[in-house]
Structure 1
Amino acid sequence: MVDETPLHEDDVMLAEPSVEEGRPDDRIDDERMDEENNLKPEFVRAVADALEDEDAQAVYDLVEPLHPADIADLIELMDKEDRAVLAASITDLMSGEVIAELNDHVREDMMEALPAEAVAQIVEQLETDDAVQLIEDLDEADQRAVLAEIELEDRIAIQSALAYPEETAGRLMSRELVAVPEHLTVGDLIDYLRDSSDLPDEFYEIFVVDEKHHPVGTCALSWIMRAPRAIPLADVMKRDQTLIPVTLDQEEVGLMFQKYNLISAAVVDENERLVGQMTVDDVVHIISEEAGEDALLMSGAGDGDINEPIREAYSARVRWLVANLGTALVASLIIAMFGAAIEQLVALAVLMPIVASIGGNAGTQTMAVTVRAIATNQLTRSNTRRILWREMRVALLNGATVATLVGIATALIFTPQLGGVIALAMVINVAIAGSAGVLVPVGFDRLGQDPAVASSVFVTMITDSMGFFAFLGLAVASGIVG
């Protein structure tokens, strides 16, 4: 029987953290880690030399003190052909924690090199969401082979998650949670938590459900520990809660956690039944992944992963460069229209890149703000006009400032008339850039496309083309050239 005698404050002693539980930079000595908690080049070379000498024991002795996250970093730092050899030298150190920390491309290569039985053993060490992330990268045949080696209960949970679309709450949620009926008292719940052997390793919130397994409230562990045993859960639970549909996109999940300050949230199926939970540690990864993804999509750099196979990196990047080539031809055609004017006044050719460059930068600034506003739900259909007008005003102020500086410099170096022309062209192009920076991403979003994907290509085309057209057209219209 558990002694429930209350402890006096003086009887409670705070445990000193052990070396193993200390800060990350206390895990191992300075021979392996630098001041920024990264593996030192000398240590990585020592491991590589031991692998080259086929000294498996030396490799193991070097790697054994490392934290799982640092072992994952070490594997990623190795050449591709050395990774499997390293893994074979430290077999019992290749825990699920190490695999979960690996880069997606590196993990995929590692899993393909291991037999299905070995992958299944790793999968069974992982939480369901991490196991799903590992298996979803395998091809269909390998998935079937691995799943056949996994225990039935785990197999059903993983197959259920794989049935949901990628990057949705159903694919990413954890099925390890604590759910109890609402008729329990606080004492009943505490006894259940103490006696049950089938609880998650870590949890912070209790989900309260009705007879149909619909979530009706939540109880933080801190509330349970402070409430008298006789109090019904219905009296202490929080009834207002944020429910996440299984089909909700991961980006929307991240926004919900950010907006409502959540630590965890229930995931429900189409019948409003509790099927899992999302926790803040999962959402941190989601937010980081989405932020990096948007930045890379805007540049057309694909995954932007240094471990991505060269063929995939080439395929992802070259199509946007080809598209950019096509849009650049539009600007070239406009320049060709004013070829005779440029021949008469070489200064036009000297100044054209300035107009296009400033317009392009202004458009990129506005586009970055717009894409972020769309991603965070700050820009919606209800405020698009207001945001457009705001960015137009910002663009006009920026354009006037830069135009004044460029106009004065051009007037001093060339002629006052040419200075006035380039100043006016600059204002026009920056104003157009501000509009394009909002309208192009919003247009993609309205069409159901990711606004970050190709916005930069089209915004650049618009700013370059209109910049050249405005500058050269004004030069001809003003009579500077015939």
Structure 2
Amino acid sequence: MAAEDADRVSEAEEARAERLDEDDRLKPEFVEAVREALQEDAETDVRDLVEPLHPADIADLFEILPREDRPALARGIADLMSGEVISEMNDYVRDDLLESLPPDAVAGIAEQLETDDAVALIEDLDASDQAAVLAEMGPEDRAAIESALSFPEESAGRLMQRDLVAVPEHISIGDLIDYMRENADLTTEFWEVFVVDPTHRPVGSVQLSWILRTPRGVAIADVMKRDQTLIPADLDQEEVALRFQKYALISAAVVDKAGRLIGQITADDVAHIIQEEAGEDTLLLSGAGEGDINEPIRTSYSQRVRWLIANLGTALVASLIIAAFGAAIEQLVALAILMPVVASIGGNAGTQTMAVSVRALAMNQLTRSNTSRVIWREMRVALLNGITVAALIGAATAAIFTPMLGVVIAAAVVLNIITAGMAGVLVPVIFDRLDQDPAVASSVFVTIITDSMGFFAFLGLAVASGLVG
């Protein structure tokens, strides 16, 4: 028996090695073999190729294949299209695939999933498609999903799982163990048991490790942890992730406005949030929208072009400042050579500070209580950076051109980096105070400030110093 098990493990490892590289990515030759089988309508071959893959790898295969090949793949591996595969898919790929499936098929997939994953599957469908899918679901599953959809998007209510274990505080550890053993309908994935009062408000929790190590006769009330972090159902998912990180939570109870227990959020749900939010802020800072390579070209175009047009406006403002000093530039060509240096250094300094500030706001490290201290800190960092860079560029300019021009560009660099440091903090903070996402438009405003200040400081100091008339 052991030899047979070893042979099966060996075969599985060989099959995995044929399909995945050392970084657990699908090999190009394997993807090409699947495409060839699809083009030849060899559904049996397709299934034999895909069957050994993990559901997450099957989801990756859908994302890698061209859009036109995905429906054929879904038909060829229909029995492998579990809810786990669908939940692992990229949103755009998943939505595109679901549109090709009848409502009863989508409902069947949704019923296999945890409530939070089922909600993620259905929430992006059109209202008519949502209604058709929900109509095909069982009453209990439909009610749970409709309840979740009543909460705001990206809230704890959408994220939470309805399946949990909750017991009254008057029972003993032995009663709890018997209850969990005898109740076949309990969820199979949980790390703690929630203790509730007669009105179903959570009053404590008991970790599974405590249950296993406590004598049967001990009352739940004597071992439960009364101090717990409760998550309001309407709390934004980013705030949920921060609470999990701050308090090192594995799971947490979700409560409604009346304080009643209605669900739980677990660490695996939060891991997805952290990944999504981190990537989202990075892309928003660059003006790339969602930045998904699977999103429609028209969507990518509309999300990116508006920020390019905004940047065009900032460039025109900077051009007007340069035009105001046109006569000075004509007298000293070196000014035109060195202007981009001042603006570029200021822009990079502003981007550094802005990235730090946006992250600090997202992590609740930058608040109303410490804004002035953070601004003063970044100003000191900017001053040190400005002096260091100014000394280098000033010395080089003095050696190549004239000492006075070296002094002018050094002073301009210091002024611009200090301005960039202040803008990099103030612009995101102002957006945050206005209840706007500081990652969305901060880069545009910081760019216009650093570019304009860089050109104005350099050219203005050149004129004021007498380098040009």
TM-score class, shorter-chain normalisation, is over 0.9
Alignment check: 8 A CA contact 1:433 1:459 kept: yes
Superposition RMSD in Å? 1.6
Distance across 1 between alignment mates of 2:73 and 2:242 = 40
Alignment check: 8 A CA contact 2:16 2:53 kept: no
1:467 match: 454
1:326 paired with 2:326, answer no
SS of 2:18's equivalent? coil
Deviation string 1:216-275 (CA, Å, 9 cap, x unpaired) is 000001100110111000000000000000000000000000000000000000000000
Q: Given residue 368 of structure 2, which amino acid in structure 1 is its aligned partner?
A: R
1:177 paired with 2:164, answer yes
Tell me the TM-score normalized by structure 2. Answer: 0.98
1:214 paired with 2:201, answer yes
Q: Given residue 363 of structure 1, which amino acid in structure 2 is its aligned partner?
A: G
Q: Given residue 87 of structure 1, which amino acid in structure 2 is its aligned partner?
A: A
Distance across 2 between alignment mates of 1:188 and 1:59 = 51
Equivalent residues in 2 for 1:111-126, closer than 5 Å = 111-126=98-113
Once the 2 structures are TM-superposed, how far is the Cα of residue 21 of structure 1 from its aligned partner?
Answer: 11
Q: Pick the aligned partner of 1:410 from 383, 391, 397.
A: 397
Alignment check: 8 A CA contact 1:19 1:27 kept: no
SS of 2:259's equivalent? coil
Taking a change above 3 Å as real, the CA distance of residues 22 and 237 of structure 1, as seen in their structure-2 partners, is farther
Distance across 1 between alignment mates of 2:101 and 2:397 = 66
Deviation string 1:300-355 (CA, Å, 9 cap, x unpaired) is 10101010111111111111111111111111110010000001111000000000
1:357 paired with 2:339, answer no
Q: Given residue 142 of structure 1, which amino acid in structure 2 is its aligned partner?
A: D
1:257 match: 244
Equivalent residues in 2 for 1:61-100, closer than 5 Å = 61-100=48-87
1:5 match: none
Alignment check: 8 A CA contact 1:168 1:246 kept: yes
Alignment check: 8 A CA contact 1:19 1:26 kept: no
2:434 match: 447
Taking a change above 3 Å as real, the CA distance of residues 118 and 27 of structure 1, as seen in their structure-2 partners, is farther
Alignment check: 8 A CA contact 2:390 2:409 kept: yes
Distance across 2 between alignment mates of 1:20 and 1:125 = 31
Q: Runs of 4+ in structure 1 displaced over 6 angstroms?
A: 18-23
Q: Given residue 107 of structure 1, which amino acid in structure 2 is its aligned partner?
A: R
SS of 1:390's equivalent? helix
Alignment check: 8 A CA contact 1:255 1:376 kept: yes
Taking a change above 3 Å as real, the CA distance of residues 137 and 20 of structure 1, as seen in their structure-2 partners, is farther
Once the 2 structures are TM-superposed, how far is the Cα of residue 19 of structure 1 from its aligned partner?
Answer: 7.3
Once the 2 structures are TM-superposed, how far is the Cα of residue 285 of structure 1 from its aligned partner?
Answer: 0.4
Deviation string 1:157-203 (CA, Å, 9 cap, x unpaired) is 00000010100000110001000011110000000000001111211
Distance across 2 between alignment mates of 1:21 and 1:476 = 81
Once the 2 structures are TM-superposed, how far is the Cα of residue 28 of structure 1 from its aligned partner?
Answer: 3.5
1:163 match: 150
1:248 match: 235
Taking a change above 3 Å as real, the CA distance of residues 296 and 22 of structure 1, as seen in their structure-2 partners, is farther
Once the 2 structures are TM-superposed, how far is the Cα of residue 62 of structure 1 from its aligned partner?
Answer: 0.5
Tell me the TM-score normalized by structure 1. Answer: 0.95
1:272 paired with 2:254, answer no
Percent identity for Structure 1 against Structure 2? 71
Q: Which has the higher helix share?
A: 2
2:355 match: 368
Q: Pick the aligned partner of 2:277 from 290, 305, 310.
A: 290
Alignment check: 8 A CA contact 1:28 1:65 kept: yes
Distance across 1 between alignment mates of 2:396 and 2:447 = 25
Taking a change above 3 Å as real, the CA distance of residues 22 and 271 of structure 1, as seen in their structure-2 partners, is farther
Where do 5+ consecutive residues of structure 2 fail to align?
A: none
Distance across 1 between alignment mates of 2:465 and 2:313 = 31
SS of 2:388's equivalent? helix
Taking a change above 3 Å as real, the CA distance of residues 20 and 441 of structure 1, as seen in their structure-2 partners, is farther
1:142 paired with 2:129, answer yes
